[in-house]
Structure 1
Amino acid sequence: MKQKLTVCWISAGISSFMAGYLAGNVDKWIYIDIADQHPDSIRFIKDCEKAIGKEIEILRSKEYSSVEGCVRVFGGFRNPGNGFAPCTNWLKKRVRKEWEEQHKDYELTYIWGFDQKEKNRAERTIEANPQANHEFPLLDRQLSKEEVHGLFERTFDFARPKMYELGYPNNNCIGCIKGGMGYWNNIRKDFPEIFESRAKLERDVGYSILKDSNSKPIFLDELDPNRGNMNTEIFPDCGIMCYLAESE
């Protein structure tokens, strides 16, 4: 009989942390670190460790350290045919797969932070990942993202990750390729050096991150500073939940 192991893959976001906290039965907490995360993410992880009284294991890719490195090797930001994003897959998915291979003798249960609006993503996660059991504490309690953040602030006395306080809906990498025009105009203002770096990267590889409604490429160095609204754009969390909800 396999030994049981319940794992919370924390993304340095509020939802994944609160899911593990509410589950209450987590044996192992794991965070996959990427160089492009805001430096405050590690502070948040360390504060979470103190709050739960357990170590959060930090994993990193042995092949790549940054989004730019993945994009340059791949030669673009996404595969237009299947949506494959090298940064998400190589910096996170491969790392998780390696960990699973090392723990294939365990009966795994994963705790996920999908909220009440993400039932479909939770269902796809179950279908695409039969190698583990799955629990969804936020969905079970019918909690919205806003309610989860409110619960966090009422329960804990340490700060949310800095990206939330700057107005971003998720604590993704700074300069996330899944962001829209409004997001990128906020990055232009808050992190101008990263905006310029991504703009140069686009020209170097010959592909743009953004497209207009007619699928015409819009390069960052041509983006109108007034276009887009980050508050109305669909901008998914780019943690491990993001790619697990897609077909393997």
Structure 2
Amino acid sequence: MKYIVCFSGGHSSALCAIECVRKVGKENVVLLNHNISEEVEDKDIKRFKQEIADYLGIKITYANMEGWEYKTPLRVCKELGGFKFGNGPALCTYNLKTKPFYKWLRDNFPIEKGSIRDDVRIIYGFDKNEPSRIQRRIGVMINQGYKCEFPLAFWDRTITCTEEIGIARPNTYKLFKHANCKGCLKSGKQQWYLTYCLYPELWEEAKQVENEIGYSIIKGSFLEELEPKFARMKCKGIVPTEKIKPQTFWAMVRKEIPDKSENLPCECAL
């Protein structure tokens, strides 16, 4: 049995990798990653992935999109002329991760039409609080001919955080909930406020891509329209973070910046 860990660089996927090696041995585990350009994947995430792999004594296996070194999510979407089409997946995720993932699986563990491989398990980092995601993923992968397992939800756990083995999780977790790309195209206003404050070059590129494509990243709001409000938020000293629940975060914003004044020039500019 081969256990293929979807090794994203996030904390949950690292815990899955550790649990798999402790349960079945490193010779039966594959750490499958999709490398992302350093422009949008924080260098500390890359540090974290490598330290986990070194601890486990396993080389990272890469299934990369061609040109991944410079094709950021924004540039992939610009090239394709959209962020997503209809109810389909986000084009950045599909092209940078999903499509190379399925190709790697077919190349290394091919499926005969109508069959299901019983000597492979795809490992995901969903936990017991994510039953809908678990059910959906089981269905998706069965249709592809593969079975899944979810160590954080259903296995007896031997580790709860990587700090237990002396490996600090990525420092992005200090502000973000996940170890996603900077300027994640699937995120909402709260995370894009972080992008506005922390990654101004990425913010400007995202505005440009929105204008060229003609669609907004955030449903119902173009970044250019949000910029005056974000400028006032920054001026008021509202800390860019995802560590506060959205309801609490935006209630704090409304208290500091009443709706009627959110599009006025920021006092910092006067």
Q: TM-score range by the shorter chain?
A: 0.7 to 0.9
- Provide the C-alpha distance between the structure 2 equivalents of 1:210 and 1:27, rounded to a whole number of angstroms: 38
Q: Which residue of 1 aligns with 2:93?
A: 88
Matches within 5 A, 1:178-193: 178-193=186-201
Matches within 5 A, 1:121-200: 121-130=133-142, 131-141=145-155, 151-165=160-174, 167-200=175-208
Instruction: Give the share of equivalent positions with the same residue, in percent.
Output: 27
Q: Which residue of 2 aligns with 1:31?
A: 33
Q: Which residue of 2 aligns with 1:232?
A: 245
Q: Which residue of 2 aligns with 1:74?
A: 80
Counterpart secondary structure, 2:167: coil
1:142: how far off?
8.7
1:170: how far off?
0.4
With normalisation by structure 2, the TM-score equals 0.74
CA 1:122–1:61: 2 relative to 1, 3 Å: same
Q: Which residue of 2 aligns with 1:238?
A: none
- Provide the C-alpha distance between the structure 1 equivalents of 2:191 and 2:98, rounded to a whole number of angstroms: 24
1:207: how far off?
0.9
- Higher helix proportion, which one? 2
Partners of 2:7 and 2:13 within 8 A in 1 = yes
1:154: how far off?
4.2
Matches within 5 A, 1:190-229: 190-211=198-219, 217-223=220-226, 224-225=229-230, 226=233
**Greater length-normalized contact order (CA 8 Å, ≥ 6 residues apart):** 1
- Provide the C-alpha distance between the structure 1 equivalents of 2:163 and 2:191, rounded to a whole number of angstroms: 28
CA deviations on 1:105-137 (whole Å, 9 max, x unpaired) are 473211110012111111111111112121111
**Structure with greater Cα Rg:** 2
| Count of residue pairs the alignment pairs up | 218
1:31: how far off?
0.8
Structure 2 residue corresponding to 1:22, chosen from 6, 19, 30: 19
With normalisation by structure 1, the TM-score equals 0.80
Aligned Cα root-mean-square deviation (Å): 2.3
1:62: how far off?
1.4
Q: Which residue of 2 aligns with 1:45?
A: 49
Code of the residue aligned with 2:120 in structure 1: it is: L
> What stretches of structure 1 of length at least 5 have no aligned partner?
212-216, 235-248
1:221: how far off?
1.8
Partners of 1:180 and 1:233 within 8 A in 2 = no
- Higher strand proportion, which one? 1
1:39: how far off?
2.2
